[in-house]
Amino acid sequence: MYCVETSGLVHAYPGGGRILNDVSLKVPEGSIYGFLGPNGAGKTTTLRLVLGLIREQQGTVALFGKALDTDRRAILKDVGALIESPSLYEHLTAAENLEVLRKIYRRPEARVREVLELVGLADATDKRAGRFSLGMKQRLGIAMALFHGPKLLILDEPTNGLDPNGIVEIRALLKKCNRRYGMTILVSSHLLAEIDKLVTHLGIIADGRLVFQGPLEELKAKGHATVVFSTSNGKLVREGLSKDAIAALNRSLVADGIDVHAIETKGDDLEAIFMDLIGSRGDGVH
């Protein structure tokens, strides 16, 4: 079953061209789905449509097998989201921001502390949100999205503003939510290396069109690695070798009395495959 399924989404802003053109997302239930693309490719617009924040001009949106336009209220109670920047009460503390949600969702008082600890803000409980760094605000936004224990979590660039250690912690948090609670996570990003370490499935969008969708391993299988052996006789270059073939060639070289100083693969990483898919449209992707 697909947790999120869109069909033929088309969207254009007044006076401009199409932002989205026939976007059909299929997010498997229980997956961590990375929505990857250059800046301006249509990621945020798609997520806004999925949440009903803007209305689709053409196409359909379904979550949990239900049509968004007819079951929006029932659907969204099981969804947590953080789109662009967090919506916080900056004059309130981190705990007070979550206390507002606790009363709305009628959850136990202990839930506030539990979620703050989950996102690494336990030491900032009594600090006003207006004094938070960008990264801390991002963490609090994620805490608010997670607070009611949604079945589906939608995050738009969740590691924005975080330092490298913070990125690692948020990655671990999202994996925990996925594995422990069975939460489906749809996350947009332009950080290729981070997506590679996080997701199980991937959708790549460029110029408002999906250019790939499927399991991460399926995308990686599209790569054609160039393998460079640096040896005592110079450099030996081979294309498209499997891991077993690389090992066999290395053994053969050594058996022939040739020292192998280094083995390097080029062109089989996610970034190279991504750039091959979108060509020159990769501005803003790292």
What is the pLDDT at residue 282?
Answer: 47
Distance CA 151, CA 153 (A): 7
Distance of CA 73 to the CA centre of its chain: 25
CA-wise closest residue to 159 among 172, 146, 177? 172
Residue spans of the chain under pLDDT 70: 223-224, 267-270, 279-286
Which residues contact residue 274 at a Cβ distance below 8 angstroms, ignoring those fewer than 6 apart? 36, 192, 204, 282, 285
* Distance between CA atoms of residues 244 and 229, nearest Å: 15
pLDDT at 267: 60
Which tens digit of pLDDT belongs to each residue from 65-110? 999 999 998 999 999 999 987 889 999 999 999 999 999 999 999 9
- The token duo for 110 is 């202990």
